[in-house]
A and B are shown apart, each in its own frame.
Chain A
Amino acid sequence: MALEGTLQDMSLSDLFQIFRMGPKTGVLILASVAERGIIYVAAGKVIDAVLATSPGNRVQAAQEEAVIQMLLWDHASFVFRHDANVLNRSPRITQDGEWLVMEGMRRREDPARATPYQSITLDTKLQLSPLPSSAESGVSLDVNQWRILSQVSISPNLRTICEATGIEPAQAIRTVAELMAIGLVEVVIPTPAAKASTKSVAHDPVASMAPAVGSSDLAATASRMGADCGERPQVGRGLLEAIMRRIRGL
């Protein structure tokens, strides 16, 4: 048994919410016309994902980037199957579901300017968003987010920010992605030549894509029963309680 449907019935962000509420554990498989994605969910958290071509099973993206790309899909079918074995799988996604959904929304709204998470490098040049999104109001930033934000306008790239703040590069990249999701920071769009040199997606094949009575007589009987009783039968409390007692005793 499984939860099945299409993204038109239920969006991926809705599914993430359901997984958290459960909390559910299992494998979500999405299939669009040309691609197929797998998202692993452990105790309500999205812990890993892969996106591959179909047919061909060539990996297009993995982890956060795979989920974000799937969040951009409007037409795909999905199947979610409970699988307790996912609890034994090592998490490879560090961002939580809400972050992923926000990043997906940001890319949907502004695909030209949005930058995949994996393509943020130490050479990435950042700038403060000229028109911060409404998400800015009321948002609370942690210390690392504040430190990086304070350096964005005066540093030529992320490497300089790391040197100035002492934040580890991996942490800095994650923090920049968070600031981008909030809408406070954006990447300065690289030139086409620079873009060509930043191919970051692995191309390993996917190991396994886990994963008799006549009806008119009865209708007439039913209708007659109603007619005998009037439009709505008046049933006393005593009779209702007798019915409930009988049903409890079944």
Chain B
Amino acid sequence: MQALKIVITGSYAAGKTQLIRTISDIETISTDYEVTLDEERQLKRETTVALDFGTIAINEQVTLYLFGTPGQERFDFMWEHLTVGCLGYVVMVDSTRPGHFAETQRLMSRFAEITDAPYIVAANKQDDEAALPVSYVRRRLGVPLEIPVVPCVATDRPSVKGVLLSLLRYIAAQSQASDE
């Protein structure tokens, strides 16, 4: 049995848990606990203090595992464990919360130190009429042009499929480039 892993990361309340719930074959295992900080409570009643976990069976021999990282920086010691051996990762960002962009940038820098796995950025909540456009999200986060920044609605299955397919296409392209 081969197990492959994709990590879903992002700042607090970016939609990581929802994305995994939307696409997973199994009832996701989530370790959400009631939040303790007032600021966090305004956004979310419960938060992922450890990680979310979902699976997609590819065939009888291969299963794809989706791991969601805890959003808060105080749990960043978990990130190294999670990224070991991952195919790639998705950085999720809430397109309606520009106040979270700085935190997302710090998280992206930290992940770049931890792993050289390919990643893409998913600009979540693009179904909100007030959401910031994807091009703006790219510019604000300083994402290089070669890295995909894709629109995302974490509650919408086709949209989540699109995010994962974008990551896989990017991984394939990176793999091909390194072979040449």
Contacts and interface: CB of A to CB of B under 8 A. Distances in A.
Contacts of B165: 244, 247-248
A235 B118 CA distance: 13
Contacts of A107: none
Contacts of B102: 9
Interface residues of A, number: 48
Nearest to A234: B175
B167 to A, nearest CB: 10
Contacts of A214: 31
A22, A216, A250, most chain B CB atoms within 10 A = A250
B117 A232 contact: yes
B109 to A, nearest CB: 18
Nearest to A213: B29
A85 interface: no
A223 interface: yes
A229 B130 contact: no
Contact of B130 (A81, A218, A233): A81
A230 to B, nearest CB: 6
A22 B129 CA distance: 9
A9 B98 contact: yes
Contacts of A1: 96, 125, 128-130
Contacts, number: 148
Chain B contact residues, majority secondary structure: mixed
Nearest to B163: A247
A6 B65 CA distance: 37
A226 B3 CA distance: 9
Contact of B31 (A24, A218, A226): A218
A250 B163 CA distance: 13
Given A231-B84, A232-B85, A242 B62 contact: yes
Contact of B59 (A6, A81, A246, A247): A246
Interface in B103-162: 116-117, 125, 128-133, 135-136, 157, 161
A25 B97 CA distance: 18
Interface string B26-67: 000111000000000000000001110100111100101101
Given A1-B125, A237-B176, A250-B23, A243 B130 contact: no
A218 B51 contact: yes
B78 A219 contact: yes
Contacts of B74: none
Contact of A240 (B31, B85, B172): B172
Nearest to B79: A219
A242 B59 contact: yes
B133 A18 contact: yes
Contacts of A244: 165, 168-169
28 contacts: A3-B98, A3-B130, A3-B132, A9-B98, A24-B130, A26-B130, A82-B128, A213-B31, A215-B31, A215-B51, A218-B50, A218-B51, A219-B78, A222-B5, A227-B84, A228-B85, A229-B5, A229-B85, A233-B87, A237-B175, A237-B176, A239-B62, A240-B171, A240-B172, A243-B168, A246-B56, A246-B58, A247-B161
Interface of B: 3-5, 23, 29-31, 49-51, 53, 56-59, 62, 64-65, 67, 78, 81-87, 96-99, 101-102, 116-117, 125, 128-133, 135-136, 157, 161, 164-165, 168-169, 171-172, 175-176
Given A219-B81, A240-B168, A247-B161, 11 more contacts: A3-B131, A6-B99, A213-B31, A215-B50, A218-B50, A222-B53, A225-B65, A226-B5, A232-B116, A235-B87, A250-B23
